[in-house]
Amino acid sequence: MSFTELDTVYMARAIELAKHGRFTTTPNPNVGCVLVKDDEIVGEGFHQIAGQGHAEVNALAVAGDKAKGATAYVTLEPCSHYGRTPPCAEGLKAAGVSKVIAAMVDPNPAVSGRGLQILADAGISVASGLLEQQARDLNKGFLKRMETGLPYVTCKMACSLDGKTALNNGQSKWITGPQARQDVQAFRAQSCAILTGADTVITDNAKLNVRIDELPFTMPTSLPLRQPTRIIIDSQNRLTPELALFSIESPVIIFTTSLDNHTKWPHFVKHEVVPAVNNKVDLSAVLKRLAELQFNHIWLEAGATLAGVFAEQDLIDEYIVYIAPKLIGDMGKSLLNFAEVTMMSDITELTFTDTVMIGDDIRLTATKAKQATKIENKE
């Protein structure tokens, strides 16, 4: 089916609406919906919080009787199953819409074409594929979990112009400027979880929470800020409840190779035991378990050793690197530590997908070459 210029305009509006839920919808995807009748938007909405009305429900509530005969533009195929809310495909059918255009088919096995089929069987015109790549970009974590059984992992790093993360004595505050640090808070807030290792927690006494006062925007008052779950890799059970991490009452999951049954932990701390590889936590098993727990997007903010193991095992989907206009020198600490590569044919190839100035620093985004689709310069 061919799409008109107006179809593209309305779908682009639906995509913008979907972005409003990026801090609150997990484990559900971000979805927007626009209802159009006689070239006029009669209703629009987005999915706000998991367990509450989906985008289509919210748009239909705004449109009321005007939904009859309207065209629905939705960024993801309307759901077809009963979960915490009724199927949106049935809601659109009951409202009497005449056409539904979805940006993409839902890869969730519980939907996967069934929503569009319900509508088509009811005599409603259906189509999909309009602005599909933009719709996929909305939900990289959800889509990867549905398609592969693993979450999407973004590795954040910060370094000087000569690629160093800290002085040789460990001092690193601050390599980047305040705007870059605020930018990191925004990315943290959008993630399902922040993952790091016991070394980082112990050395930095890190809290790993979203610092609301540092966000470079104001959260909508109607949507509560969701603190990401803090995931800690602690193979040797070195963490103790006295650390600053546990002074904040928000979920923590500690992955280890064996349980320590003698320490009394706060009620919001859970332990997960996974297999060991060379006496260390099996990171592949960690990611698989996180997907089972419905984590879509993991923000990896770790030291050079743990980040290096993730990189070496090809477990990172995306790198976000903040580069400061500073020079540290040869004795500084490197971004990643992993085994030496001796053949150019064995190196990991990435593609830059975004570059933008954040204050005095540069933020570079790179993905695996096979995943990258374009280079976008926003300077």
Strands 333-334 and 164-166: antiparallel
Q: Find out whether 281 and 259 touch, Cβ atoms under 8 Å.
A: no
| Adjacent-strand bridge partners of 351 | 367
**What does the radius of gyration of the chain's CA atoms come to, in whole angstroms?**
23
Q: Which long-range contacts (CB under 8 A, 24 or more apart) does 287-293 make?
A: 287/150, 287/151, 287/153, 287/315, 288/149, 288/150, 289/255, 290/151, 290/193, 290/231, 291/145, 291/149, 291/150, 291/151, 293/253
Work out the angle between the directed axes of helices 55-63 and 5-18 (0-180°, nearest 10): 110
> Contact, 330 vs 286, CB < 8 A?
no
Quick one: how far is CA 38 from the chain centroid? 36
17-53: b (≥16 Cβ within 10 Å) or e: bbebbbbbbbebbbbbbbbbbeeebbbbbbbbbbeeb
Cα angle 202, 205, 207 (rounded to 5 degrees) comes to 120
Return the active site residues: 56
**DSSP three-state, residue 89:** helix
Tracing tokens 């009497």 back to the chain, one arrives at 96
Helix then strand then coil, % of the chain, to nearest 5 = 30, 25, 45
Q: How many CA atoms lie within 13 A of 221 on its CB side?
A: 0
**For residue 233, which of 165, 282, 269 has the smallest C-alpha distance?**
282
Q: Is 7 helix (H, G, I), strand (E, B) or coil?
A: helix
Distance between CA atoms of residues 203 and 269, nearest Å: 20
Q: How many residues does the chain have?
A: 379
